[in-house]
């Protein structure tokens, strides 16, 4: 899967699963500070990523994800994109 494809799928997930505004989502946006996603929301996002991209994200990697771009990085690395 191409990185651009992962990005667009991730944005869809953020809109559909977490109810975020599409226009607010940039790769630099921080989940908690900029997008007002609470800590449980970040966990929800991780579960959605695991289900939709069929990857496993261990806790130590999950802790490093604070921005949208970092989430794309982690999924990309798993999928070799």
Partner 1 sequence: MSRVALVTGASRGIGRSIAVLLAARGHHVAVNYRTNAGAATEVVEAIEGTGGEALAVQADVSDADQVTAMFAAVEEHLGAVEVLINNAGVTRDGLLLRMQPEAWDEVLATDLRSAYLCSRAALRAMVKARWGRIVSIGSVSGVAGNAGQANYAAAKAGLIGFSKSLAKEVGSRGITVNVVAPGFIETDLTASLAATSAERLLENISLGRFGRPEEIASVVGYLASDEAGYITGQTIVVDGGLAL
Residues with Cβ within 8 Å of residue 37, at least 6 apart in sequence = 18, 20, 31, 45
Q: Is 16 in the site for partner 1 (CB under 8 A)?
A: no
Q: Is 55 in the site for partner 1 (CB under 8 A)?
A: no
Residue of 12, 32, 33, 38 interacting with partner 1 (CB under 8 A): 38
Q: Is 47 in the site for partner 1 (CB under 8 A)?
A: yes
Report, as residue numbers or ranges, the catalytic residues: 38
Q: Is 44 in the site for partner 1 (CB under 8 A)?
A: yes
Q: Which residues sit at the interface with partner 1, rule CB under 8 A?
A: 17, 38, 40, 44, 47
């Amino acid at each position: 899967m191409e990185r651009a494809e992962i990005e667009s799928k991730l944005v869809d997930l953020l809109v559909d699963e977490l109810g975020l505004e599409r226009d607010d989502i940039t790769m630099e946006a921080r989940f908690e500070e900029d997008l007002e996603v609470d800590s449980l929301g970040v966990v929800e996002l991780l579960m959605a990523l695991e289900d939709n991209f069929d990857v496993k994200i261990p806790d130590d990697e999950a802790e490093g994800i604070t921005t949208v771009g970092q989430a794309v990085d982690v999924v990309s690395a798993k999928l070799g994109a």
